[in-house]
């Protein structure tokens, strides 16, 4: 024992350096880039389905860890995993080098040649998905702790995680009055962090022109794929509907998630209230009781117009409000994905 202790300081120093490196990495990934509350929350209540509730989102920052918790909370409630049935395609061989995973050794080739070769595979990217996220000023509205933008960003992040886990590629486009940043589709989990950084660095601002933005975007999407549109669709309804149908006419499959704040759906306001347009700054004072019935009727009519016009074109339409758990959105995506797989 004395001999071992006498010859091991360099080994112990090496272990200390490695431990310090791991600790520093943990600090970067969780404390600097994520949120330390994540750890305590997971330890206190390990049930991942709780993260499907958007009311909890104000506790956390956008991160791949939270996306993983939310999606796996949803997956745990399914009878069948959506990650089954995706294949990989054999590409070629290369000679074995020390450190390679032995499970990829081709023993048949070894039997013929008495040499070790590793089988290399290429993932079959089954789909290219594009998430189009509305970042106009109206998305900043929220009467609770979660705005439409918060809800939309978490939805986009979780859908991107789900898409990548299914070995598909996903890209992101932010738009308002005109198309903005466009991240091309990738199928690596590291791409998810780039998407999160893009959303964090580009908060909602400015006016909306959904129709013009979508018409411009469709010209930049060179390959057909699945388009996931996340927006409150606050714009001229007929032109907005026409532009969304244009995406379908160009051969894309389309899912539309229309996000509204719960107060926009229920109109619970009471007493003289000043409403301000977040995009133009225009203000209007009204008595909510005198307009509530007509407002709700017009809202229902607009919702039905979008539903009918989109469904007729073969487009999935999912209206959501900021209090709804994400189950319905994920189910709608998986339903459309299953159709594409035939």
Task: State pTM to two decimals.
Answer: 0.71
Distance of CA 218 to the CA centre of its chain: 20
Q: Could you tell me the residue ranges of all domains in the chain?
A: 15-44, 88-123, 128-341
pLDDT of the residue at 6: 45
pLDDT per 10-residue tile (average), the chain, 342 residues: 45 54 48 40 43 59 68 62 44 70 77 79 66 94 89 90 86 84 88 90 89 89 89 94 94 93 91 84 87 93 96 93 83 76 56
**110 CB-side CA count, 13 A:** 11
pLDDT of the residue at 222: 76
What is the topology classification, in CATH, of domain 128-341? Rossmann fold (3.40.50)
Q: Which helix H or strand E contains 64, and what residues bound it?
A: helix 64-75
pLDDT of the residue at 8: 47
CA distance 73 to 181: 30
């Amino acid at each position: 024992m004395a001999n071992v202790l006498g010859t091991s300081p360099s080994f112990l120093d090496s272990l200390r350096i490695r431990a310090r490196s791991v600790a520093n990495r943990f600090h970067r990934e969780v404390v600097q880039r994520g949120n330390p509350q994540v750890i305590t929350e997971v330890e206190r209540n390990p049930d991942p389905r709780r993260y499907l509730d958007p009311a909890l989102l104000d506790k956390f920052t956008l991160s791949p860890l939270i996306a993983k918790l939310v999606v796996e909370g949803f997956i745990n409630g399914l009878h069948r995993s959506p990650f089954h049935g995706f294949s990989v395609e054999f590409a070629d061989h290369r000679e074995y080098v020390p450190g390679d995973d032995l499970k990829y050794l081709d023993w048949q080739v070894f039997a013929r040649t008495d040499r070790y070769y590793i089988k290399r595979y290429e993932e079959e990217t089954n789909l290219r998905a594009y998430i189009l996220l509305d970042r106009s000023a109206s998305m900043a509205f929220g009467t609770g702790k979660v705005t439409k933008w918060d809800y939309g960003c978490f939805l986009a992040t979780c859908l991107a995680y789900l898409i990548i886990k299914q070995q598909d590629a996903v890209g992101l486009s932010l738009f308002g009055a005109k198309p903005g940043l466009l991240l091309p589709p990738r199928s690596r989990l590291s791409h998810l962090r780039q998407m999160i950084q893009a959303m964090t660095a580009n908060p909602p601002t400015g006016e909306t022109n959904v129709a013009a933005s979508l018409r411009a975007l469709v010209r930049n999407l060179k390959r057909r794929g699945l388009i996931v549109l996340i927006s409150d669709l606050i714009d001229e309804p007929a032109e907005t509907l026409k532009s969304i149908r244009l995406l379908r006419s160009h051969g894309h499959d389309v899912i539309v998630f229309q996000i509204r704040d719960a107060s926009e759906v229920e109109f619970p306001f009471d007493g003289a209230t000043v409403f301000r347009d977040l995009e133009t700054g225009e203000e209007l004072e009204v008595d909510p009781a005198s307009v509530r019935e007509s407002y709700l009727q017009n809202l229902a009519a607009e919702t039905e117009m979008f539903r009918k016009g989109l469904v007729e074109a073969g487009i999935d339409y999912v209206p959501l409000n900021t209090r709804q758990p994400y189950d319905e959105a994920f189910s709608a995506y998986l339903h459309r994905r299953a159709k594409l797989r035939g």
